[in-house]
């Protein structure tokens, strides 16, 4: 791929379409001295962002047109929110001030961009906007749920030869976005750094389960039964942390948080199709008492054997705390020196 020299900052244009703006709001939670300095220091020049830039109306339209026409070099196009194809393929559910479908504008910009980045699961795969009856006929930039295609098609490549980079998540963690942009600016992103769904492997090669503070409950299958219980949420509460690709429990959100630390299930929001799990989100689907969704890479027979063994070996402390909202039995204190 063509690397841009470090001296030359990359021009970034950020657009929003069929989403909630939550990935931008999450970005503002970034733990840096000043987000804008960090981006600048990482070699990113912000051309325009709809929530943050000064330019309105005509001035903003000119910035975008200059990118389309090649007057301004477009190095990174970020799209936040799904592509809205409806009604009837017209893109009319989201029009620009000029009356053109935003869908068409995004396609033009992706055609000239050095890199095209889908920020969030909506832009990557369609996400929540494509749930249920699909009223807006939403899709991602290069995927329609887990099927390659989307707006730009399976064969789309940016001018550097990369497919769309999918920073999936609902919302995205601020550092996933900042670090992907910084990696692009220093030429560190190549095909090998992206996984099968084109997600940056720096966070997608992990599972939400890694670093889960409920791990002792998981080990003994000591399970929570209602929200606020301390136990493992895999067996009853719909938690998909053992299957979801993300580093939410080692990177942490808003200081010391994550979904499971917040007392609720991981709904695997970085995975395509998470918005339609085929079961109530907060209930674990089971067959014969065994959860259908087993931990990634875990053979079913072993899971069943180990689960039943560990259940029968559960210490009283773990068993009782699992169904309480605070420790009702605290770890024993030994009288002898620990070996």
Partner 1 sequence: MKRLVVGPFNRVEGDLEVALDVADGKVQSAYVNSPMYRGFEQILKDKHPLDALVYVPRICGICSVAQSAASSRALANAMNLQPPENGRLAANLTLAAENIADHLSHFYLFFMPDFARDFYKGRAWFRDAQTRFKSVTGSATAEVLPARAKFMHLMGYLAGKWPHTLSLQPGGSSRPIELTEQVRLSILLTELRLFLERTLFGDNLEAFASLDSESALLAWAESRKTSADLPRFLAIAYDLELQKLGQASGRVMSYGAYHDGENDLFPPGLWENGVRGALDISVIREDVSHSWMKGETALAPAVGFTLPQPDKTGAYSWCKAPRLDGRVIETGALARQVVAGHALIDDLVVRHGGNVVARVVARLLEIARVLPVMEEWLRRIRPGEPFCFAATALEDGNSVGLVEAARGSLGHWLEVRQGKIRNYQIIAPTTWNFSPRDATGKPGALEQALVGIQIEENNQGAPVSVQHVVRSFDPCMVCTVH
Interactions with partner 1, residue window 6-35 (CB under 8 A): 16-26, 28-35
Partnered with residue 287 across adjacent β-strands are 290
| Closest approach of partner 1 to the CB of residue 12, in Å | 12
Binding marks (x or -) toward partner 1, 144..173, rule CB under 8 A?
Answer: --------------------------xx--
Nearer to partner 1, 162 or 239 (CB): 239
Which residues pair with residue 148 across a beta bridge?
143
| Residue 128 vs 307, nearer CB to partner 1 | 128
Cα torsion 312, 210, 287, 232: sign = positive
The CA-based dihedral angle spanning residues 122, 125, 126, 130, taken in that order and rounded to the nearest 10 degrees = -130
From 143-151, 160-168, 183-191, 259-267, span contacting partner 1 (CB under 8 A): 259-267
- The answer to whether residue 94 forms part of the interface with partner 1 (CB under 8 A) is yes
The secondary structure of 15-55 as a DSSP string is EE-BS-SHHHHHHTT--SS-HHHHHHHTTEEEEE-TTT-S-
The SS3 call for residue 245 is strand
Closest contact distance (angstroms) between CB of 275 and partner 1 is 8
DSSP 127-154: GGGG-TT-TT-EE-SSEETTEE-TTT-T
Binding region for partner 1 (CB under 8 A) out of 106-114, 199-207, 222-230, 330-338: 222-230
For the segment 284-303, give every residue that binds partner 1 (CB under 8 A): none
Q: Which of 51, 190, 213, 308 binds partner 1 (CB under 8 A)?
A: 51
Of 132, 288, 289, 299, the one binding partner 1 (CB under 8 A) is 132
Question: Which stretch in 45-53, 190-198, 201-209, 330-338 sits in contact with partner 1 by CB under 8 A?
Answer: 45-53
Q: Is 177 a residue that touches partner 1 (CB under 8 A)? A: no
Minimum gap (Å) between residue 306 Cβ and partner 1: 28
β-strand partners of 83: 139
Of the candidates 78, 214, 253, 284, which one interacts with partner 1 according to CB under 8 A? Answer: 253
Sheet holding 10-16: strands in order across?
44-48, 10-16, 76-80, 115-119, 165-167
Q: By the 8 A CB rule, do 203 and 246 touch?
A: yes
């Amino acid at each position: 791929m063509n690397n841009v020299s470090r001296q030359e900052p990359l021009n970034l244009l950020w657009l929003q379409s069929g989403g909630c703006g939550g990935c931008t709001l999450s970005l503002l939670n970034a733990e840096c001295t000043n987000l804008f300095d960090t981006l600048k220091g990482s070699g990113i020049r912000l051309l325009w962002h709809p929530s943050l830039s000064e330019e309105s109306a005509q001035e903003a339209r000119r910035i975008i047109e200059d990118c389309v026409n090649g007057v301004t070099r477009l190095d990174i196009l970020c799209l936040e929110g799904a592509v809205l194809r409806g009604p009837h393929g017209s893109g009319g559910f989201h029009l620009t001030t000029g009356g053109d479908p935003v869908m068409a504008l995004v396609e033009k910009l992706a055609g000239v961009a050095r890199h095209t980045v889908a920020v969030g699961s909506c832009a990557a795969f369609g996400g929540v906007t494509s749930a249920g009856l699909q009223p807006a006929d939403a899709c991602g930039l290069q995927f329609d749920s887990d099927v390659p295609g989307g707006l730009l098609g399976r064969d789309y490549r940016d001018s550097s030869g990369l497919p769309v980079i999918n920073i999936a998540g609902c919302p995205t963690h601020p550092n996933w976005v900042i670090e992907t942009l910084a990696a692009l600016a220093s030429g560190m992103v190549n095909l090998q750094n992206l996984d099968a769904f084109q997600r940056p492997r720096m966070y997608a090669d992990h599972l939400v389960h890694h670093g889960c503070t409920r791990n002792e409950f998981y080990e003994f299958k000591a399970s929570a039964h209602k929200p606020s219980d301390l136990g493992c949420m895999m067996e009853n509460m719909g938690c998909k942390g053992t299957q979801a690709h993300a580093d939410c429990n080692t990177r942490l959100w808003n200081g010391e948080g994550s979904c499971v630390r917040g007392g609720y299930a991981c709904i695997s929001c970085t995975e395509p199709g998470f918005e339609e799990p085929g079961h109530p989100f907060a209930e674990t689907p089971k067959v014969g008492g065994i959860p259908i969704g087993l931990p990634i890479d875990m053979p079913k027979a072993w899971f069943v054997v180990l689960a039943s063994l560990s259940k029968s070996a559960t210490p009283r402390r773990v068993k009782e705390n699992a169904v309480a909202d605070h420790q009702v039995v605290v770890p024993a204190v030994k009288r002898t020196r620990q070996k």
